[in-house]
């Protein structure tokens, strides 16, 4: 790690001076690209700060029109919706903008953003804006614990918030998890700590962050269609470590995360702390005899470790990656001064969200598991590695990734594969090459391609016909959902509904069949 106390020079004196809520934001000309959850929060905040705002969004939906109307009520703002709205960078009250604030997910090659780059107009994400306004006269400034990674972010940020709360701190999970950071900063509750989930999209447009502690949980190919290539994706993920003050937390089993820490420009005194599911070395958190232990944040760490929790405290179905998530959360919270007992209490109190390694039912000795949130091969590998034998329901939008490595690593545990989704060519090719003896069934044959619910019901029916006692039917698609569902959550809900209907039709475990 390299010590650094300087943020990048962005080249605009007025913008560089905007470092608190109480800075001079009045009259600043800003274009906000996107009116989704984050974009709406950014526009609302900027209006409150006194900026002059234009919002553009390519979707002219009823929801977006309602949001535009709401922004118009709270302050003067122009909103442009519909096709072509984001193709170019508009004026703000007849003058060129001084700043662009973009929503996560808006591609950098979108016309308005590309034009901003050409005209040398700074582009911030909503997270950069939030960091700039986090300090406010009359309110304590919350510390930030920042978390990113290809998989496990939402679980880890939730565990982190729960541990902080168990330690007596006012804390909330924010960012990519769903609650915009800007909303938390404007909440009447004055939080002590924010557990911040950051996507690669958000980090791409962040420059000034200096969190108390930060973590990259893991890294694997994802969102290559947005970032262009894996190197760019890694570079954006690594930005989470820049400016970190107390601890850079990384996964000892993932060399790339260690290299990110080594290359990071951090503040003087920041430590590198890793986590492992094996016995920990000095400055690590790890596992000993079924216990999570800390050899990083204890004075006697050279000779002993502090007991934090049991592996059983990490979830209903403890898996290697849930233990890793718990260790990362524990490391971040210990960096913030939380006592060991709060780690245990926080993990026990944590209620995982739906759709991540979620047991749905057990019928006729078959376990049905919903992991619809496994939208890439890396997340799916963690799921597949937790069960054996598996009937695997997979498929959807591949986002430019390949599946050969995933299939080769887990072919031995696959009893059958049931395909959903419309973009299955890459998965079929990998199965044919790496698991030629595994039966493959296409759930969508003869059904309307866009009827995701019907396809999922067929997938569950096929899986039931294949499963015997001891099998796990696992929905872990390794792909995005938008080809057949409104979201990964809708895909998971369809799976749960289909399994529930199946179980009710079978009348529980009566009439078990052996094959």
Dist CA 346 CA 294 (whole Å): 16
Closest CA to 150 of 246, 292, 257: 257
**325 appears as a binding residue in the annotation:** no
**500 appears as a binding residue in the annotation:** no
- Radius of gyration for the alpha carbons in the chain, expressed in angstroms and rounded: 24
Which H or E element spans position 349?
Answer: helix 340-349
Decide: helix, strand or coil at residue 261. Answer: helix
Beta-strand pair 358-363/366-370: antiparallel
- In eight-state DSSP terms, residue 93 is T
**152 appears as a binding residue in the annotation:** yes
**Omega prior to 113 cis, within 30 of 0:** no
**153 appears as a binding residue in the annotation:** yes
**168 appears as a binding residue in the annotation:** no
**58 appears as a binding residue in the annotation:** no
Cβ–Cβ under 8 Å, residues 222 and 295: no
**150 appears as a binding residue in the annotation:** yes
Helix ranges restricted to H, 37-152: 37-49, 62-74, 111-118, 126-132
Cβ–Cβ under 8 Å, residues 174 and 181: yes
CA 479 and chain centroid, separation: 15
Closest CA to 390 of 470, 455, 499, 491: 470
Can you give 413-456 as a three-state secondary structure string? Answer: HEEEEEECCCCCHHHHHHHHHHCCCCCEEECCCCCCCCCHHHHH
> Is the sign of the CA dihedral 18, 171, 1, 218 positive or negative?
negative
Please, which residues have CB within 8 angstroms of residue 212's CB and are 6 or more apart in sequence?
143, 144, 145, 193, 244, 245, 246, 247, 335, 336
- Count Cβ atoms below 10 Å from residue 385 Cβ, excluding itself: 15
Please enumerate, by residue number, every residue annotated as part of a binding site: 149-155
Please enumerate, by residue number, every residue annotated as part of a binding site for ATP: 149-155
């Amino acid at each position: 790690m390299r010590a650094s106390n300087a943020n990048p020079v962005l080249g605009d004196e007025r913008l560089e001076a905007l470092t608190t809520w109480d800075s001079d934001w009045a009259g600043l000309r800003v274009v906000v690209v996107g009116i989704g959850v984050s974009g709406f929060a950014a526009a609302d905040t900027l209006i409150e700060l006194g900026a002059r705002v234009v919002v553009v969004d390519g979707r002219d939906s009823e929801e977006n029109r309602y949001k535009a109307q709401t922004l118009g009520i709270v302050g003067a703002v122009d909103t442009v919706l519909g096709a072509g709205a984001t193709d170019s960078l508009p004026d703000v009250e007849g003058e060129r903008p001084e700043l662009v604030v973009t929503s996560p997910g808006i591609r950098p090659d979108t016309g308005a953003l590309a034009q901003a780059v050409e005209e040398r107009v700074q582009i911030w994400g909503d997270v950069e804006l939030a960091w700039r306004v986090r300090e406010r006269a009359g309110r304590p400034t919350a510390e930030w614990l920042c978390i990113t990674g290809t998989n496990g972010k939402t679980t880890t940020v939730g565990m982190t918030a729960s541990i902080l709360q168990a330690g007596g701190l006012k804390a909330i999970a924010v960012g990519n998890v769903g609650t915009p950071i800007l909303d938390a900063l404007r909440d009447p509750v004055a939080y002590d700590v924010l557990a911040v989930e950051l996507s690669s999209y958000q980090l791409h447009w962040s420059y000034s962050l200096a969190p108390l502690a930060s973590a990259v949980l893991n890294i694997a190919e994802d969102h290559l269609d947005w970032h262009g290539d894996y190197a760019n994706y890694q570079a954006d993920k690594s930005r989470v470590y820049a400016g970190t003050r107390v601890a850079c937390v990384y996964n000892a089993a993932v060399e790339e995360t260690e290299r990110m820490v080594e290359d990071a420009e951090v503040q003087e005194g920041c430590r590198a702390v890793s986590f492992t599911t094996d016995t920990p070395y000095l400055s690590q958190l790890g596992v000993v005899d079924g216990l999570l232990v800390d050899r990083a944040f204890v004075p006697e760490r050279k000779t002993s470790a502090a007991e934090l929790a049991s592996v059983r405290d990490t979830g209903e179905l403890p898996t290697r990656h849930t233990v890793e998530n718990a260790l990362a959360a524990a490391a971040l919270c210990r960096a913030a001064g939380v006592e060991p007992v709060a780690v245990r209490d926080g993990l026990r109190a944590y209620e995982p969200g739906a759709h991540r390694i979620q047991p749905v039912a057990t019928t006729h000795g078959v376990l049905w598991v919903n992991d619809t949130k496994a939208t890439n091969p890396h997340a799916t590998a963690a799921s597949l590695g937790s069960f054996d034998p598996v009937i695997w329901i997979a498929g959807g939008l591949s986002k430019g990734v390949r599946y050969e490595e995933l299939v080769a690593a887990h072919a031995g545990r696959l009893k059958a594969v049931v395909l959903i989704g419309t973009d299955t060519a890459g998965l079929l090719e990998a199965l044919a090459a790496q698991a030629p003896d595994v039966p493959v069934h296409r759930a969508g044959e003869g059904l309307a391609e866009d009827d995701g619910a019907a396809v999922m019901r067929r997938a569950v029916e096929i899986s039931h016909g294949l499963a015997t006692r001891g099998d796990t039917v696992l929905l872990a698609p390794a792909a995005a959902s938008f080809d057949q569902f409104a979201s990964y959550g809708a895909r998971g809900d369809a799976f749960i509904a289909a399994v529930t209907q199946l179980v009710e039709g079978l009348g529980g475990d009566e009439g078990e069949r052996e094959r």
